[in-house]
Amino acid sequence: DQQVKQNSPSLSVQEGRISILNCDYTNSMFDYFLWYKKYPAEGPTFLISISSIKDKNEDGRFTVFLNKSAKHLSLHIVPSQPGDSAVYFCAAIVDRGSTLGRLYFGRGTQLTVWP
């Protein structure tokens, strides 16, 4: 049962433009949402997160937007750079009870930024 879904397996964007990666979730109990970036042969690297009580969080070129009513979040990268080319995973966590420490992941979106 995939509680976090990334419906676009790939996205191709020109350098300098905006990249928008989308993520949907089904579990209304999620307290925190995270984005990880993964290069081949490496583990995922934390990028940015957002609490469920907020609707936007910004860190440099990266902004995450959360729409709780739609159970949807998105990651905006502006401007996109070739070094951003990687697989991006959306993840979520319930911050209580028996599921502490467990991240629920989407299946990832391969972002390719071309010059």
Partner 1 sequence: KAGVTQTPRYLIKTRGQQVTLSCSPISGHRSVSWYQQTPGQGLQFLFEYFSETQRNKGNFPGRFSGRQFSNSRSEMNVSTLELGDSALYLCASSLAGRAYDTQYFGPGTRLTVL
Binding site for partner 1 (CB under 8 A): 31-32, 36, 41-46, 49, 51, 89, 91, 93-95, 98-108
> In angstroms, rounded to a whole number, what is the distance separating the alpha carbons of residues 102 and 107?
16
Residue 92 or residue 113: which is nearer to partner 1 going by CB? 92
Residue 13 or residue 47: which is nearer to partner 1 going by CB? 47
Least distance to partner 1, CB of residue 115, Å: 28
Residue 48 or residue 80: which is nearer to partner 1 going by CB? 48
